[in-house]
Amino acid sequence: MPLGARILRIVDSYDAMTTNRAYQCAMSIEAALEDLAGYSGTYYDPWILKEFIQMMKEANFPQ
């Protein structure tokens, strides 16, 4: 799978988890990152996911 597609898969999943939808309330940032981590190596590239999680933790976005 191309690198861009692997990155987009993580970012799109994160966005879907942390945005209110008609069928589901948004998760907290921490919950979304934990959920993503649970699929590391299965659905998501482990190296890219590790970097994404680290970047999000360093960003300290407000809840």
Tens digits of residue pLDDT in 3-54:
999 999 999 999 999 999 999 999 999 999 999 999 999 999 999 999 999 9
Would you say the C-alpha torsion 40, 7, 13, 53 has a positive or negative sign? Answer: positive
pTM of this prediction exceeds 0.75 = yes
pLDDT of residue 12: 97
CA-nearest of 24, 11, 8, 16 to 55 is 11
Q: What are phi and psi of 50, to 5 degrees?
A: -60, -45
Residues present in the chain in total: 63
